[in-house]
Structure 1
């Protein structure tokens, strides 16, 4: 579908995919808005101006249920509102991070900065700096500046980076811990089986 406006023609294109898995068959629907340029007597598709995830309405990944539901909900909501409000998305990422620290590390203090400082000696320096960055960017949406005339915005890419860090922490902290526990339990069970076989 083509759209005419004062800034030039636009082309709106839809793309849909049906999952080939017979048990799934879910539909993914996306929309793309392109510049539609007229050159040398013909139209051609120009740069991509914007894209939307229509179904599902979020790019959030599905994480295992052993990650607490409240934390996963905050992550999924941060991903779902990224396009509409990057600042609100960053605020939810901040909240999600606080939930992760309290659940995974068992640390609960009055302020998020105190909780982050409490894990500084438990994680590598780059991870800690990235975690503190989520706090700082999330604070833009969570707290108003003393001077209300100062407006600091958060753009889509910045909010997206925070979501990616949350995903990284899910994998490195929760998923890796779970997989480690499964492997260690399997080894312990194997030793028990061998002991029983020796007795017989």
Structure 2
């Protein structure tokens, strides 16, 4: 939640004379996370043309450029049971999304190929061949849990976009660009598959282990209870025999 207690924003009028654009101004925004376990700071800056707004405050009227200062990327911390190379590609793709969207898309493509090889156990010389094999397994109902046709279609689209950075067009005068928003779309697909594949599998495994552990515990209690009952019966039979042999009874 953002409020006056954890949010500060200030616009600085840059008195530098006639710049290339009118009335240069810099806006700084700071937000503190109110989660006591986090308490981290988000810091961003925006450069643009400034003017006095309707409330009488100096505002950014036309944005020229923005910078995310803290944290240095919008990546989401991923669990350790996701292989380190996949996490590293994901974190780097997030880190360079704005500075080099094309390179970010290429890293996203590599990360998804690594996921196919690790999670789906498919390895071919080319990504397109791995995608075809994954489609075949889905059609046969032999693909890992969480892998759907829609998932494969999305990965195939990422392959096309990632190829822009990985391979040059035959006509080198043809320049295909990737913007930060498109790179972010690929990053969000990675985050989705991390959840649908790795996190879901881990949770499923943990739940099954918990059920097995509970069943084993209950079985141990049943075994112990039966042993106790059997011991009580033996004791009772021994007492009965002893009583029958005692002439005073």
What's the TM-score, normalizing by structure 2?
A: 0.73
Aligned to 1:17: 31
In 1, the alpha carbon distance for the partners of 2:53 and 2:83 equals: 54
- Residues 81 and 88, structure 1, Cα contact 8 Å, conserved in 2: yes
Q: Cα offset for 1:104?
A: 0.6
Three-state SS of the structure 1 residue aligned to 2:186 is: helix
CA shift digits 1:140-175 (9 cap, x unpaired) = 000001111111111111111000000000011000
Q: Please list, as runs of the form range in 1=range in 2, the aligned pairs for 1:122-137 lying within 5 A after superposition.
A: 122=143, 123-137=147-161
- Residues 108 and 190, structure 2, Cα contact 8 Å, conserved in 1: yes
Rate the CA distance shift 1:79–1:37 in 2: closer, same or farther, 3 A. Answer: same
Aligned to 1:5: 19
1:148 and 2:172 aligned = yes
Rate the CA distance shift 1:75–1:194 in 2: closer, same or farther, 3 A. Answer: same
What's the TM-score, normalizing by structure 1?
A: 0.90
In 1, the alpha carbon distance for the partners of 2:93 and 2:25 equals: 29
Larger radius of gyration: 2
Select the residue among 194, 197, 205 that pairs with 1:181. Answer: 205
Structure 1: where are the runs of 5+ without partners?
none
Structure 2: where are the runs of 5+ without partners?
1-11, 225-249
Tell me the matched-pair count.
Answer: 199
Select the residue among 118, 136, 142 that pairs with 1:103. Answer: 118
CA shift digits 1:38-72 (9 cap, x unpaired) = 579x6543254443221221111001000011110
RMSD between superposed Cα atoms in Å: 2.1
**Higher RCO, 1 vs 2 (CA within 8 Å, ≥6 residues apart):** 1
